[in-house]
Chains A and B, each alone.
Chain A
Amino acid sequence: MEIFGLSLALLALFVSFGFMVGVLFGFFGMGGSFLITPTLLLLDYPASVAIGSGLAFYFGTSVIAVLKHYDVGQVDYKLGAILFVVLSIGIELGSRLVFGLEALGVANLVTGVAYVVLLAGIGVLFLRRAYNLEDDDDDGDDDDGANDDEIPAIGQKIQSYTVPPMISLTSGGRASVWTIGGAGGSVGLISGLIGVGGGFIRMPAIYYLIGTPLTAAVGTSLFAGLFSGAFGTFTYGMSGSVDLTVVSLLLVGSALGARIGSAATTMVEEDDVIVYFGLMMLFASGGIALSELANWLGTGALDMLSVFLLVGSSFFVASMILYKVFQSAGSGEPDAQTAPDGGR
């Protein structure tokens, strides 16, 4: 039996996977589209469709995140508008590169390898953060001791190089259009090339490279990301490379999951599950590496293990969060904490 051209099993997989991704997104503030695209690749969707659908899913989740946080945090609209332009140029170049690679028949390989490196990198960063948290158990300060309203030292250093034209930032300080163009263009290129929203690199890029306070970086990243997500969807939609059915099913699950994940931040300590998130990223990276190896060897024997590693690990971490929520609700003692990344 098929509904919307998908088997019931696949339909249930997309809704439940969307739900689990939503829980992770709501809880950690990241983990959205960069799990979707590789999963679609493993399910044998063409690279352009996997990337286009990943970007469309990111756009949908961004709309929900903006609705949830429209009155929270600062937004530097001028910086956001410039970023939107350079991000869009980067996405356009990235998507052209994907179609070029597809014509050469290596798009899936390049995208797969990029994901192996990206997910492993994020996994290592999170495991390092978990290790540092264990070391600083008694220290209640932020990781780098920075105040949310301060501009980081590296951002101040970059701002000191005055290469015209310079623009004034609403949040204070001045930044070179070249810095904004370089940072935004690179993030856009990565987004367009591998189908990620890029929030996990865009926000740090605004904070560290352009040099804005953390609160403004989160809001501005969200603002620019919403429009770049729409542009990415439009770009891939022009060539029919967005599977609306898949995106819709994923959104149905993720919108609910994000609410629960966001609410869970007041009941579960991030420190308790961050190590699992890091491991999940490493397992996901291993899953894609296995899939690429299977393609290279010309065997489908490892495909099931790849999907299990990628989808199973995210199900496991999301289940851990839900389990801790039930555990906390049962004991009636919420471990109140602030939402990470502004609760995005």
Chain B
Amino acid sequence: MIEFAALSPPVQAMLLVGVILVQAVALYAGYGILERVATPLIDTITDAR
């Protein structure tokens, strides 16, 4: 396992930028999928009322 603290500051900072980038993309995609799944479900429930 790579010890994060043992890495040099520029590498740590680059990793930090990469982690935030990946997290943002994952959140965007994840919530997008959730929206696609949830919207028809909500419409079905609303129409049934």
Residues on A close to B: CB < 8 A? 56, 59-61, 63-64, 67-68, 230, 233-235, 237-240, 242, 244, 247-248, 251-252, 255-256, 259
| B10 proximal to A (CB < 8 A) | yes
| B41 proximal to A (CB < 8 A) | no
Quote the shortest CB–CB distance from A26 to chain B (angstroms). 12
Q: Is the interface of A mostly helix, strand, loop or mixed?
A: helix
Q: Given the complex, which residues of A lie within 8 Å of B12, measured CB to CB?
A: 237-238, 240
Q: Is the interface of B mostly helix, strand, loop or mixed?
A: helix
| B14 proximal to A (CB < 8 A) | yes
**Cα-based distance from A60 to B10 in the complex (angstroms):** 19
Q: Given the complex, which residues of A lie within 8 Å of B25, measured CB to CB?
A: 63, 67
**Cα-based distance from A248 to B16 in the complex (angstroms):** 11
**Cα-based distance from A251 to B10 in the complex (angstroms):** 23
**Cα-based distance from A237 to B17 in the complex (angstroms):** 8
Do B13 and A238 touch (CB < 8 A)? yes
How many chain B residues touch the partner (CB < 8 A)? 17
Can you identify 29 A-B contacts, CB atoms within 8 angstroms? Answer: A56-B20, A59-B20, A59-B21, A59-B24, A60-B21, A63-B20, A63-B21, A63-B25, A63-B28, A67-B25, A68-B28, A233-B16, A234-B13, A235-B13, A237-B9, A237-B12, A237-B16, A238-B9, A238-B10, A238-B13, A239-B9, A240-B9, A244-B16, A244-B20, A251-B20, A251-B27, A255-B31, A256-B27, A259-B31
